[in-house]
């Protein structure tokens, strides 16, 4: 009886955690992985600095993602997407390196290509998955560097 009682007591918290996993997947957040030039980056989407609105075929979505660790120090990546789906006409990408104020980079629809795999609202969350490739310009010497980023984000749906 003691073994069964112990198993029952310890299985309740484990079961509660397992049941909560699908709910966590529906929370805002996500991940951005890719490269800036030859530097790999993995950034976490900040739920409180992200959101999306979809009205019919029009989408307005943006998120801020950050990487706190690594040789470059804190790195922020901001992505904004606006326009008619499935291929929104406006894209804005900014990358900021916190340790070096002159290392700000940006790109837009003229220098970047966006491939959306998913943009779907549901239960107050907008799922946003895709890949962004192209070039960004900036830095201390006004250079151009290639970028490739894949993102899998869940954004809070805005009114």
Question: What are the backbone angles phi and psi of residue 2, rounded to the nearest 5°?
Answer: -65, -40
pLDDT digits (tens, 9 = 90+) for 71-128: 767 999 999 999 999 899 999 999 998 877 667 999 999 999 999 999 999 999 999 9
Look up the domain containing 62 and give its range.
28-156
Better-predicted residue by pLDDT, 18 or 44: 44
* Rounded Cα–Cα distance for residues 95 and 7 (Å): 50
* Rounded Cα–Cα distance for residues 100 and 9 (Å): 53
Domain count, the chain: 1
pLDDT digits (tens, 9 = 90+) for 36-77: 999 999 999 999 999 999 999 999 999 999 998 877 679 999
pLDDT of residue 72: 67
Instruction: Confirm whether 88 is domain-assigned.
Output: yes
Res 134 pLDDT > 50:
yes
Res 23 pLDDT > 70:
no
* Rounded Cα–Cα distance for residues 157 and 143 (Å): 36
Instruction: Confirm whether 73 is domain-assigned.
Output: yes
pLDDT of residue 49: 94
pLDDT of residue 10: 46
Instruction: Confirm whether 9 is domain-assigned.
Output: no
Instruction: Confirm whether 13 is domain-assigned.
Output: no
Res 21 pLDDT > 70:
no
Instruction: Confirm whether 86 is domain-assigned.
Output: yes
* Rounded Cα–Cα distance for residues 121 and 138 (Å): 34
Instruction: Confirm whether 20 is domain-assigned.
Output: no
pLDDT of residue 26: 72
pLDDT of residue 102: 66
Instruction: Confirm whether 114 is domain-assigned.
Output: yes
Res 6 pLDDT > 80:
no
Instruction: Confirm whether 7 is domain-assigned.
Output: no
Res 25 pLDDT > 70:
no
């Amino acid at each position: 009886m003691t073994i069964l009682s112990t198993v029952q007591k310890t299985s309740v918290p484990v079961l509660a955690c397992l049941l909560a996993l699908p709910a966590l997947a529906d929370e805002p957040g996500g991940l951005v992985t890719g490269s800036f030039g030859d530097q790999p980056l993995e950034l976490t989407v900040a739920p409180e600095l992200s959101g999306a609105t979809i009205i019919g075929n029009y989408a307005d979505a943006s998120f801020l993602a950050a990487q706190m660790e690594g040789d470059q120090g804190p790195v922020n990546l901001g992505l904004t997407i606006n326009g008619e789906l499935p291929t929104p006409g406006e894209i804005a990408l900014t990358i900021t390196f916190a340790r070096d104020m002159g290392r700000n980079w940006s790109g837009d629809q003229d220098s970047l290509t966006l491939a959306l795999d998913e943009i779907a609202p549901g239960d107050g969350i907008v799922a946003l998955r895709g890949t962004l490739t192209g070039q960004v310009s900036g830095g201390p010497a006004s250079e151009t560097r290639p970028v490739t980023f894949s993102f899998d984000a869940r954004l809070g749906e805005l009114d």
